[in-house]
Each structure stands twice: as C-alpha cells, then as structure tokens.
C-alpha cells in the first residue's frame, strides 16, 4: 500500500456542518477505494500567501491515508468542483508501506503528539492574550490618571487666570481726579 497526504484549504467562514460534509465526501472516496485514514489534522485558520477568490485567510486541513491511489482522481475532482474548497494538494508520502499496523500505531502517536502541541499552543496564546488585555487595561488606567492630573492642573490654573482677567485694573489717584476736574471745567464755562 501507498501512503498519501492530502492538504486542502476551505473558505474560513464555513459552518461546522459544511466542513463535516466536505470531510465526509473525502473519507467516502477513500473508503470506497479500500483505503485507510491514518491521521486528520486541523491546522486552523491561517493567512494565505496571496488572495484566493477574495479570501485573505483559509481553513487548512491535512489528511494522511493509505491506499492504492485509485481514489485520488475522484477526490481531486470532487474538491475541484466544490466552490467552498479554495486549494488542495495530494502528494505521495511513501511508495511502499510494508507494516500497515505499525504505520497506524505511529499515526495514532503522531495524532496524540499533535493534540498535545495544539493544547500547549492554545494555552500559550491564551496567556499572551490575557497579558495583552492586562497591559491595555494598565495603559488605559495610566492614561486616565494622566488625563485627570492634567485636568486638575488646568482647573487650578484657570481660576488664577480668570481672577487676573476679571479683576479691574487699579485706578491711579490721578485718574480719579480727572473726571472731577473735567466736570469742574465744564461748570466754569
């Protein structure tokens, strides 16, 4: 038997039911050709190298399976005709798998290892997101404290400026006498 790897990219906004339908079609073709699925890996949504059908991201899946190769044309035909499949690629991973049971066992170990790594990656990602959220909260709090202190400073300066603007200039003794002198000059005439 030969071992094949199939990687296909689906539209990122598909529902879980639609993804399951596509996976089911692929598995049906493999089963009809007396193949055996070794490993299915969900690589998640990733940025595409270039825009495909106006999509910037795609949902990647990898499928490793054993078979004679007769299912490959039907699988690729089905994926090519499906509008929700952006890209696909099938490669021959091993020309001659002699011990099928050993390969199945190795695939199960790989699957467990991939699951462990995925969980570790998700936990690290959650920690980074939590740290980023806390940092944003601290930055926001520091900014609001800085805004509050600058507002208080402005408020403290405003009354002094307002007092200076509202206070009339002091009259000089000569200024007060001028209107009386002008009135006295008018009376004399």
* Whether the Cβ atoms of residue 118 and residue 41 lie closer than 8 Å to each other: no
Same domain for 94 and 112, yes or no, is no
The pLDDT value recorded for residue 110 is 85
148's tokens: 């509050």
Q: Is it the case that residue 50 has pLDDT exceeding 80?
A: yes
Count of Cβ atoms closer than 10 Å to residue 69 Cβ: 13
Q: Is it the case that residue 28 has pLDDT exceeding 70?
A: yes
24 within a domain of the structure (yes/no): yes
What's the structural domain count of the chain? 2
Residue 7 pLDDT level (bands cut at 50, 70, 90): very high
Q: What is the mean pLDDT of residues 33-60?
A: 92
Q: What is the mean pLDDT of residues 56-61?
A: 95
172 within a domain of the structure (yes/no): no
Same domain for 65 and 119, yes or no, is no
Range of the domain at 46: 2-98
**Strands across the sheet with 55-67, in order?**
36-52, 55-67, 2-10, 85-94
Same domain for 113 and 85, yes or no, is no
Same domain for 6 and 92, yes or no, is yes
What's the predicted TM-score (pTM) here? 0.61
* Whether the Cβ atoms of residue 1 and residue 92 lie closer than 8 Å to each other: no
Q: What distance in Å separates the CA atoms of residue 129 and residue 184, rounded to the nearest whole number?
A: 86
* pLDDT winner (highest mean) among 17-26, 66-75, 94-103, 173-182: 17-26
Q: What is the mean pLDDT of residues 11-18?
A: 94
180 within a domain of the structure (yes/no): no
Helix pair angle (72-81, 16-32), 10° resolution: 150
Same domain for 16 and 85, yes or no, is yes
Same domain for 17 and 88, yes or no, is yes
Residue 9 pLDDT level (bands cut at 50, 70, 90): very high
Q: What distance in Å separates the CA atoms of residue 89 and residue 102, rounded to the nearest whole number?
A: 26
179 within a domain of the structure (yes/no): no
Same domain for 20 and 76, yes or no, is yes
What is the four-CA torsion angle of 161, 163, 165, 171, rounded to 10 degrees?
Answer: -140
Q: What is the pLDDT of residues 128-163, one digit of tens each?
A: 999 999 988 888 877 766 666 555 555 555 555 555
């Amino acid at each position: 038997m030969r071992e094949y790897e199939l990687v296909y990219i689906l539209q990122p906004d598909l529902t879980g039911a639609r993804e399951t339908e596509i996976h089911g079609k692929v598995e049906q073709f493999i089963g009809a050709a007396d193949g055996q699925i070794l490993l299915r890996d969900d690589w998640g949504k990733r940025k595409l190298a270039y825009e495909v059908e106006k999509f910037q991201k795609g949902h990647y899946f990898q499928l490793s399976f054993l078979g004679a190769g007769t299912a490959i044309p039907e699988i690729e035909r089905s994926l090519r005709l499906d509008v929700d499949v952006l890209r696909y690629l099938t490669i021959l991973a091993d020309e001659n798998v002699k011990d099928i049971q050993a390969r199945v066992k190795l695939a199960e170990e790989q699957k467990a290892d991939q699951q462990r790594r995925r969980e570790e990656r998700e936990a690290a990602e959650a920690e980074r997101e939590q740290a980023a959220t806390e940092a944003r909260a601290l930055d926001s709090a520091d900014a609001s404290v800085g805004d509050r202190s600058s507002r208080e400073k402005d408020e403290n300066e405003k009354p002094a400026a307002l007092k200076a603007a509202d206070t009339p200039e002091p009259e000089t003794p000569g200024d007060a006498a001028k209107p009386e002198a002008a009135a006295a000059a008018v009376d004399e005439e």
